Amino acid sequence: MKRGKKYQEAAKKVDATKLYSIEEVSKLVKETSTVKFDATVEASFNLNVDPKAADQQVRGTLVLPHGNGKTKKVLAITDKVEEAKEAGADFVGGKEMIEKILKENWFEFDVIVATPNMMGEIGKAARTLGPKGLMPNPKTGTVSMDIAKAIKDIKAGKVEYRVDKEANMHVSIARVSFDDKKIADNLKALCEALIKARPASVKGTYIKNAVLHTTMGPAIHFTFEGR
């Protein structure tokens, strides 16, 4: 692949043979951004797991210490309307919101949170919401009796991490405008979460590869304890 001049200049700052520390990579990633806008900082991993095995599904959520710089629009489907509004939900309603999605192809939101008693109604739209990754799920904290906490966590920078069918994982953790300490704090939190999520059946090296990069920027390999 032919790379542009800006990318080539940024890549010269990276030692491809070195595994940087979290502190080092968090500083260097800011210096290797090649675009004028406030680029996303993303951590990518290749795991030594078999995604097809039920006991090796690595998936979870965490609230990043400093958020990831992205503001998500939340649709709350619940009968706790006032509670959801006070918590900061952008859209709130009951089954009429499901009808709006199905009849109007309405998707002006990024995530759905719901109370358990509404899941029967939401299930009617599973074929529409599922492929878009929008189905609420107790495992990701988007189905909860404490609807206010679910909403506040998302607004505070809650992210989901999930291994794909190729055993890779990509998580947006910050923006280039973040100072390097905040990037490091967020990256540490994600790495600690991944270590805790290690399947018991995995032997040997768990995380085979870990890189940090910006939108259109070069990948910077890094290491951390427990991988």
Residue 144, Cα to own-chain centre: how many angstroms? 19
Extract the residue ranges of the chain whose pLDDT is less than 50. none
Q: How many angstroms separate the CA atoms of 134 and 117, rounded? A: 18
Q: H-type helices in 74-179, by residue range?
A: 81-87, 95-104, 119-123, 126-129, 147-155
Residue 136, Cα to own-chain centre: how many angstroms? 15
**pLDDT value at residue 18:** 95
| CB contact set of 199 (below 8 Å; sequence gap of 6+) | 49, 55, 56, 57, 58
Task: Read off the pTM.
Answer: 0.82
Length of the chain: 227
**pLDDT value at residue 139:** 84
Q: How many angstroms separate the CA atoms of 88 and 150, rounded? A: 10
**pLDDT value at residue 189:** 96
Task: Classify residue 141 by its DSSP letter.
Answer: T
**pLDDT value at residue 4:** 82
**pLDDT value at residue 2:** 67
